[in-house]
């Protein structure tokens, strides 16, 4: 019995905050919590850096957060600026142009590989005071008078109790509200004869939005279409694929010369309940997974982490208590609801070819281009969220 008691003692620990998930959002939260002086334990199931090379669109507001976390200098050389966005619809009139200078911003956003961002945030977190545990597979977590996380490292079961458990892992919770868009996104790297001039193109087609984003000397493609068409696009040879892309986007970016790194993934809106069990909170993809239209998903998730850390710094008295969590949710409700609502509405409005809606879309895009205050309000909301 003495041996068993010793084992339980060794494998049970306490912390102020346990973060489940060491991806970009979880790592950013660990960094942002450093001013509190709390004991932060971050659990990540992977033991090596991610190799996910999907393009990720960062807003200028996200850059400001990454600067405050001290990681932007290392990321800036890997990121490509977006200063102009051209928006149009296929098979109909109406277009608009969004300009960084017109909105009073140095850039509208940036494009970077997910893997590059994840590696730099993980490196910074490992060098911080946070206790980062790689290869930690979480088997259960729950709330109560205090929260508890059960996990394993190298097959050895362990338990952590904490005032607050933050779930930042995309696995999320089982009772999330899910909307299947019946679409898939095809991502790829594209080369063309014409330089991008830091311009992004958003083209709305009957099957979904298609985005060409400036990325290094070429482009990052995010092409939304039906699952069947997405599979076909990934199987086509390079020249056939580029010919189909030219048909969809037109001649505005010149002749395409090469494609690489094609992949596809299904698109769903996944939204967790507004609140989690006592002493627990969900952020990032655990709280909401969005359609890639308008590139809001990661930016919204990073603001979850930043606002949670800001709330912790301002009120470090009772982390995880009912009142403490209620105040955090109040900080996030408008931004989270707005980000989810706008993204979902854009998918519903622009993923069809009904003539009345095509006309309404054209009128909307034309009006947006003719009313600079309205256009700049939209840009700032997309850039800074509800605080824009």
Q: What does the block give as tokens for 334?
A: 């408008």
pLDDT digits (tens, 9 = 90+) for 217-230: 999 999 999 999 99
pLDDT > 60? residue 8: no
- What average pLDDT does the structure give for the chain? 89
Give the strand order in the sheet containing 208-215. 95-99, 84-89, 199-205, 208-215, 218-225, 177-192, 256-271, 288-289
Residue 369 has pLDDT above 80, yes or no: no
The pairs formed by 248-252 with CB atoms below 8 angstroms and a separation of 24 or more are 248/90, 248/203, 248/205, 248/210, 248/223, 249/201, 249/203, 249/210, 249/212, 250/203, 252/86, 252/201
Tokens read off for 135: 């290869």
pLDDT at 174: 63
Number of domains making up the chain:
1
Query: What residues pair up with 111 in beta bridges, in sequence order?
Result: 57, 80
Q: What percent of the chain has pLDDT over 90?
A: 69
* pLDDT of 75 over the 60 cut: yes
CATH number at residue 21: 3.50.50.60
pLDDT of residue 380: 87
Q: Which residue in the block uniquely carries the two structure tokens 């009128």?
A: 363
Mean pLDDT of 165-186: 86
Whether the predicted pLDDT of 2 surpasses 60:
no
Phi/psi class of residue 64: alpha, beta or left (left: φ > 0; alpha: ψ in -120 to 50)? alpha
Gap between the Cα atoms of 255 and 46, Å rounded: 40
Q: What is the mean pLDDT of residues 286-306?
A: 94
Q: Is residue 329 classed as helix, strand or coil in its secondary structure?
A: helix
Query: What is the mean pLDDT of the segment spanning 7-24?
Result: 83
User: With 70 as the cut, is the pLDDT of residue 176 above it?
Assistant: yes
Classify residue 351: in a domain, yes or no.
yes
CB count within 10 Å of CB 227 equals: 14
pLDDT of residue 357: 66
Q: Is 240 domain-assigned?
A: no
pLDDT at res. 59: 97
* 3 is a domain residue: no
Asked if residues 83 and 51 have their Cβ atoms less than 8 Å apart, the reply is: no
Task: Give the C-alpha separation, 269 to 347, whole Å.
Answer: 10
CB neighbours (10 Å) of residue 43? 27
User: Does residue 163 lie in a domain region?
Assistant: yes
Q: What is the pLDDT of residues 115-161, one digit of tens each?
A: 999 999 999 999 999 999 999 999 999 988 889 999 999 999 999 99
- Going by pLDDT thresholds of 50, 70 and 90, the confidence category of residue 54 is confident
Task: Establish if 25 belongs to a structural domain.
Answer: yes
pLDDT above 80 (res 9): no
The pLDDT of residue 356 is 64
pLDDT score, position 28: 98
Matching residue, tokens 């942002």: 32
Q: What element of type H or E holds 213?
A: strand 208-215
For position 352, what pLDDT does the model report? 66
- By residue range, what is the domain housing residue 351? 10-176+270-387
Q: Is 91 left (phi over 0), alpha (psi -120 to 50) or beta?
A: left
Q: How confident is the model at residue 388 (pLDDT cuts 50, 70, 90)?
A: low
Q: What are phi and psi of 317, to 5 degrees?
A: -80, -40
Output the pLDDT for position 153. Answer: 95
- Go through the chain and tell me how many residues it has: 388
Band (4; pLDDT cuts 50, 70, 90): very low
Examine residue 226 and state whether it is found in any structural domain, yes or no. Answer: no
Query: To which residue do tokens 């679409």 refer?
Result: 183
Establish if 276 belongs to a structural domain: yes
DSSP alpha helices (H): ranges in the chain?
A: 2-11, 24-32, 60-68, 72-76, 114-126, 227-235, 238-249, 297-314, 322-350, 355-370, 372-384
pLDDT digits (tens, 9 = 90+) for 316-325: 788 899 999 9
Q: Number of H helices and number of E strands within the chain?
A: 11, 18
Decide if pLDDT at 1 tops 70: no
CA dihedral 110, 114, 115, 117 (to 10 degrees): 50
Averaged over 109-117, what is the pLDDT? 95
Domain assignment present for 329: yes
């Amino acid at each position: 019995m003495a041996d068993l008691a010793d084992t339980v003692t060794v494998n049970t620990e306490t912390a102020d905050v346990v973060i489940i998930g060491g991806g970009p959002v979880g790592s950013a939260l660990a960094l942002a919590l450093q001013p509190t002086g709390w004991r932060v334990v971050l659990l990540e199931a992977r033991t090596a850096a991610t190799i996910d090379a999907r393009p990720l669109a960062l807003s200028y507001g996200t850059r400001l957060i990454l600067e405050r976390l001290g990681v932007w200098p290392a990321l800036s050389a890997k990121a490509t600026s977006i200063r102009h966005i051209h928006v149009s619809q296929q098979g109909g009139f109406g277009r608009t142009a969004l300009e960084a200078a017109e909105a009073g911003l140095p850039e509208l956003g940036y494009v970077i590989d997910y893997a590059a961002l994840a590696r730099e945030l993980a490196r910074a977190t490992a060098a911080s005071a946070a206790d980062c545990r790689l290869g930690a597979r979480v088997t259960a977590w729950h709330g109560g008078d205090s929260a508890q996380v059960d996990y394993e490292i190298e097959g050895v079961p362990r338990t952590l109790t904490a005032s607050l458990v933050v779930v930042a892992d995309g696995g999320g919770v089982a009772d999330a509200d899910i909307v299947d868009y019946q679409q898939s996104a095809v991502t790829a790297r594209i080369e063309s004869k014409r330089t991008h001039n830091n311009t992004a193109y958003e083209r709305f087609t009957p099957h979904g939005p298609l985005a060409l984003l400036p990325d290094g000397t070429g482009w990052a493609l995010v092409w939304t279409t039906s699952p069947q068409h997405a599979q076909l696009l990934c199987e086509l040879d390079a020249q056939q694929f580029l010919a189909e892309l030219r048909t969809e986007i037109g001649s505005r970016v010149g002749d395409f010369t090469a494609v690489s790194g094609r992949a596809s993934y299904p698109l769903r809106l996944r939204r967790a309940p507004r609140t989690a069990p006592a002493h627990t909170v969900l952020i990032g993809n655990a709280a909401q997974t969005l359609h890639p239209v308008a590139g809001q998903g990661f930016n919204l998730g990073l603001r979850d982490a930043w606002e949670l850390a800001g709330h912790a710094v301002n009120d470090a008295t009772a982390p995880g208590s009912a009142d403490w969590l209620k105040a955090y949710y109040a900080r996030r409700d408008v931004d989270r609801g707005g980000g989810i609502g706008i993204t979902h509405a854009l998918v519903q409005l622009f993923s069809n070819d009904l003539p009345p809606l095509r006309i309404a879309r054209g009128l909307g895009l034309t009006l947006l281009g003719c009313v600079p205050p309205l256009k700049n309000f939209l840009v700032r909301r997309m850039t800074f969220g509800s605080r824009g």
